[in-house]
Amino acid sequence: MDGSFLTYRRGRWFWITAGSAGALTLHYFNYRSESIPYGGTAIGLIYGLIGTIIIAVLMFLGIRKRSYASGVGTLQGWVSAHVYLGLFTILIIPMHAGFRFGVDIHTFAFILLIIVVLSGIIGVILYMSVPSRLTEHESSLQSDAIDKEIGRLISDMRFLVRDKSDALVRVYRDELARLQTMQPMGWSLLLPKQNEDLIAKRSAELAQIVSSVPSQDETTFQALSQLILKKTQLQVALMAQMRLRNILQAWLYIHVPVSVAMIIMVGIHIAVVFYY
């Protein structure tokens, strides 16, 4: 984790957030000892204002990520602040409400905030573990190189079965059909059924086919089987890379929409408070 966004500038944002949380906690206990805490007091409104400003800063990360030439801090620093300030909102927002929650839009806004923060924690875990695994998978061949190599193997298979028995031609055509059905898998890679040992499964299938191959084509079948297993290994590697990339993207389909919904509910919360 050294040098990561979590330890940016020797954990600058961790210490800023931890210190602020400690000071805020002490202030809240003093505030509670002198009055009944709730969102409508002067202190409660200040807590709410600080929380709203922090949420606005957190949402700015999406803009900063697309502004590569921006001089407003480094992207790693913004991500570090995003993580720790996001956790800080889980403390200051309940203090703003005096830890008083009910069945209303105000509580719903806080629930959405909780979901955003929890999904953010999941995102941190993913981005601390998945990229290194993806790099490991890509160290030998990247996805575009794998596609080219699979195409070359298919061409070699087609050359092998030229003028051979119908049994070998069927094996080649079946392998080509398998390749075509595996290409558009997309998000289905995240499903458990895709985690089967395809290499062992394909080896067993080829072992069953060998009995139907004419004796004069057995040597060719062995060479064809080696090409098929090599292609299967490449497909497994490609699936692993695609699965990891999809995992990194999938959590955003929860984090980003819920973040937008949370911002809307916070806006409604503020409007309702000032209206009434």
Of 14-23, 106-115, 181-190, the least confident = 181-190
pLDDT digits (tens, 9 = 90+) for 141-180: 777 888 889 999 999 999 999 989 998 999 999 988 887 7
Give percent of the chain above pLDDT 90. Answer: 53
Quick check: 1 pLDDT over 60? no
Residues in the chain: 276
Q: What is the pLDDT of residue 238?
A: 84
pLDDT, tens digit, 9 for 90 and up, residues 201-215: 889 999 999 888 888
The region of weakest confidence among 122-136, 139-153, 173-187, 188-202 is 188-202
Q: Which pair of tokens denotes residue 273?
A: 């408070």
- Percent share of the chain, pLDDT over 70: 88
pLDDT digits (tens, 9 = 90+) for 170-182: 999 998 888 777 6
Query: pTM for the complete prediction?
Result: 0.77
**Taking residues 224-232, what's their average pLDDT?**
94
pLDDT per residue over 52-110, tens digit each? 999 999 988 766 665 555 556 687 888 899 999 999 999 999 999 999 999 999 999 99
- Say which residues have a Cβ less than 8 Å from residue 199's Cβ, sequence separation at least 6: 229, 232, 233, 236
For 184-222, give the DSSP string.
T-GGGGGSGGGGS-HHHHHHHHHHHHGGGS-GGGHHHHH
The pLDDT of residue 240 is: 83
Residue 113 has pLDDT above 50, yes or no: yes
For 186, residues 6+ apart whose C-beta sits below 8 A from its C-beta are 246
Cα of 3 vs its chain's centroid, Å: 21
The pLDDT score that the predictor gives to residue 71 is 59
Confidence at residue 127, expressed as pLDDT on a 0 to 100 scale: 86
Selected residue with higher pLDDT from 71 and 275: 275
* Higher-scoring residue by pLDDT: 262, 243: 262
Long-range pairs of 103-106 with CB within 8 A, sequence gap ≥ 24: 105/265, 105/268, 105/269, 105/272, 106/39, 106/269, 106/272, 106/273
What pLDDT, on the 0 to 100 scale, is given for residue 247?
Answer: 86
Q: What is the pLDDT of residue 75?
A: 77
Between 207 and 4, the more confident residue is 207
